[in-house]
C-alpha cells in the first residue's frame, strides 16, 4: 500500500506533484516591526525560527521551488550565512501551540519536528535547503532557491523551520527583515537565538517574515 502523503512529497520525481510554473507570489507582506531575528538572525551565532502558513493563504497544490525574504536596510557589504537549513512540513494544526515548541535530533540538518509536539502534528518532512546563502548588501527581496522542492498538497497547512547553524555573527552586515504582525500572523510564528547555546526549542510569537514563494 502506498501512503499518499509520502508518495506525494517526492519533489519533481513524483507524477502527482504539481508542475513547476515559474511563478513567484507574495504571501506575507503586512505591517510589522523590522527585526533581525525573524526568521533567522545573522547577529547571533545560532538561531531557530518556525512559522505556519494556512491552506487558505497558500491556495491550490503547488511545487515550491524557493523563497524570498524582504531585507529592510542596505548594509555596507553582502553577507554569506553559513550552514543554513530550511525544512517544510504539512500539518493539520491551524496555529502553533501556546507552550514551548520542541525539536529532537542534532542541531542543524538533523533537527526535526517529527513526532515531538502533541499539538503540532507534522508530516512529509522535506529539507528544502541545507547550504550557505549569500545575499547582496542592498535592501529588497533576497532570493533563495531550494535544493529540493516541496510538493504542497493544497489541503493541509504548512510549517517552515529555519535553522541557523552559522556559528559566527557579523556585527556590521547582519540583515534586518521586514515582518508581519497583523492578525493574519497571530500565533503563527516562533523564534529563539543565542551566541552560546544552539536552540532546540522556540516560544510562540505573532510575527512572521515578509515572504514570497516560488513555484
Residue-wise pLDDT for 174-211, tens only, equals: 999 999 999 999 999 999 999 999 999 999 999 999 99
Per-residue confidence (pLDDT) for residue 65, from 0 to 100: 98
Cβ(99)–Cβ(187) below 8 Å: no
pTM for the whole structure: 0.93
Q: Look up the domain containing 121 and give its range.
A: 4-214
For the cut 70, the answer to whether the pLDDT of residue 15 exceeds it is no
User: CB-based burial of residue 155 (10 Å sphere; 0-12 exposed, 13-18 middle, 19+ buried)?
Assistant: exposed
Provide the pLDDT confidence category of residue 99 given band limits of 50, 70 and 90: confident
If we measure between CA atoms, which residue out of 56, 77, 81, 83 comes closest to residue 69? 81
Q: Quick one: three-class SS letters along 141-198?
A: EEEEEEEEEEEECCCCEEEEEEEECCCCCCCCCCCCECEECCHHHCCCEEEEEECCCC
Question: Would you give the DSSP letter of residue 57?
Answer: H
If we measure between CA atoms, which residue out of 53, 33, 32, 34 comes closest to residue 189? 53
What's the structural domain count of the chain? 1
State the Cα angle at 209 between 207 and 107, rounded to 5°: 90
Buried b (16+ CB within 10 A) or exposed e, 171-187: eebbbbbbbbbeebbee
Amino acid at each position: 500500500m502506498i501512503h499518499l502523503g509520502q508518495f506525494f512529497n517526492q519533489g519533481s520525481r513524483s507524477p502527482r506533484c504539481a508542475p513547476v510554473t515559474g511563478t513567484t507570489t507574495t504571501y506575507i507582506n503586512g505591517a510589522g516591526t523590522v527585526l533581525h531575528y525573524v526568521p533567522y538572525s545573522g547577529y547571533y551565532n545560532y538561531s531557530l525560527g518556525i512559522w505556519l502558513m494556512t491552506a487558505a493563504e497558500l491556495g491550490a497544490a503547488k511545487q515550491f521551488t524557493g523563497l524570498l525574504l524582504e531585507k529592510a536596510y542596505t548594509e555596507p557589504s553582502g553577507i554569506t550565512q553559513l550552514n543554513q537549513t530550511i525544512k517544510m512540513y504539512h500539518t493539520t494544526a491551524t496555529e502553533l501551540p501556546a507552550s514551548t515548541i520542541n525539536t529532537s535530533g542534532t542541531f542543524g540538518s538533523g533537527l526535526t519536528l517529527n513526532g515531538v509536539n502533541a499539538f503540532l502534528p507534522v508530516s512529509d518532512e522535506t529539507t528544502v535547503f541545507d547550504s550557505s546563502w549569500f545575499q547582496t548588501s542592498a535592501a529588497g527581496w533576497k532570493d533563495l532557491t531550494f535544493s529540493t522542492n516541496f510538493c504542497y498538497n493544497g489541503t493541509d497547512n504548512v510549517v517552515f523551520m529555519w535553522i541557523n547553524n552559522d556559528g559566527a555573527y557579523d556585527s556590521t552586515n547582519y540583515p534586518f527583515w521586514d515582518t508581519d504582525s497583523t492578525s493574519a500572523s497571530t500565533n503563527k510564528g516562533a523564534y529563539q537565538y543565542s551566541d552560546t547555546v544552539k536552540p532546540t526549542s522556540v516560544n510562540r510569537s505573532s510575527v512572521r517574515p515578509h515572504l514570497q514563494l516560488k513555484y
